Amino acid sequence: MKYSRLARKEIVIALCFLLPSLIGFALFYIIPFGQTISHSLQDRLVNGGDRGITLQHYQAIVASSSFRNAASNTGSFIAIAVPLIVVISLALAMMLNSHVYLRKWLRTAYVLPLVVPVASIILVWQLLFDWNGALNEWLVRLGGGRVDWMKTEWAQAVIIMMYIWKNTGYNVVLFLAGLQNIPEQYYEIASLEGAGRWRKLSITIIYLVPTFFLVILMSILNSFKIFRETYLIAGEYPHDSIYMLQHYMNNLFLSLDMEKLSAAAVLMAIAILVLVFVLFRVEKVFRSFME
């Protein structure tokens, strides 16, 4: 009886500490998202009248070629950029985890892009990929021609490079934490049994599985943030290959089509939730398989 009373008291105290955060989360996330869902299901008022529930905004968005193009570009960007950044981050983390020259300085260098303001990043990339930028100048000196990088199919490659450069440091930190939690004795036992580099690499990958899922999840979420850089460097209507879902939603906002904008936001949130759910399911299946 005394134990249950103490437990209830601790629960009440914990809720009191959590209450400010829960109120803020409800005010700034749950309630606005609920209103977004409500707007996406409402008819647009024309000459007065009552609002009704409809799915016409979702149907109009799915039928829109702009939306399909934006969704396809966003999906292809994630499919290309996320595996690349995971592989590059793992390779760099393994290098920094070993006894490499200037290791501490290199760790700092890879994390620096995280704290660089977006405006500074855009300025650097414009200096590189502008029509009169450094890269075109080198091409001319080598006997080639200038390329309008952000108005050709190369635009997606430029954005992918920017995404990798900006977010690799964060993933490297996560992988380093995972690598340092692997007991060294596993590698010593593998060496005694005559295991080679590839066998040791398989040990590393197996014990980094939880870190892999975290890195993949964070990389997917960060991939949706590349819109800031893309918008600043290429404008409202960029090349078709880098016209993302956020561009489509931003243009709906500029036209004040709030119902379609809300429907697009709901579809995007559902897509992210499905990706996260699939990742957690795969991790759960993999964990049960390993056990």
Residue type at position 171:
N
Place 44 in a pLDDT band, splitting at 50, 70 and 90.
Answer: low
**What is the C-alpha separation between 50 and 198, in angstroms, rounded?**
67
pTM, rounded to two decimals: 0.81
Q: What's the pLDDT at 104?
A: 67
To which H or E segment does residue 251 belong? helix 245-254
Domain map of the chain by residue range?
1-40, 57-290
Q: What's the pLDDT at 52?
A: 64
Q: What's the pLDDT at 33?
A: 86
Q: Decide: 92 and 226 in contact? Cβ < 8 Å.
A: no
Whether CATH 1.10.10.10 fits 57-290: no
**pLDDT, average across residues 164-190:** 82
Place 88 in a pLDDT band, splitting at 50, 70 and 90.
Answer: very high
**pLDDT, average across residues 44-52:** 53
**pLDDT, average across residues 223-247:** 84
Q: Decide: 267 and 58 in contact? Cβ < 8 Å.
A: yes
The percentage of residues in the chain with a pLDDT greater than 90, rounded to a whole number, is: 7
Dihedral pair phi/psi, residue 64, rounded to 5°: -75, 130
Place 77 in a pLDDT band, splitting at 50, 70 and 90.
Answer: very high
Q: Decide: 251 and 236 in contact? Cβ < 8 Å.
A: yes
176 Cβ contact partners less than 8 Å away, ≥ 6 residues apart: 93, 96, 97, 107
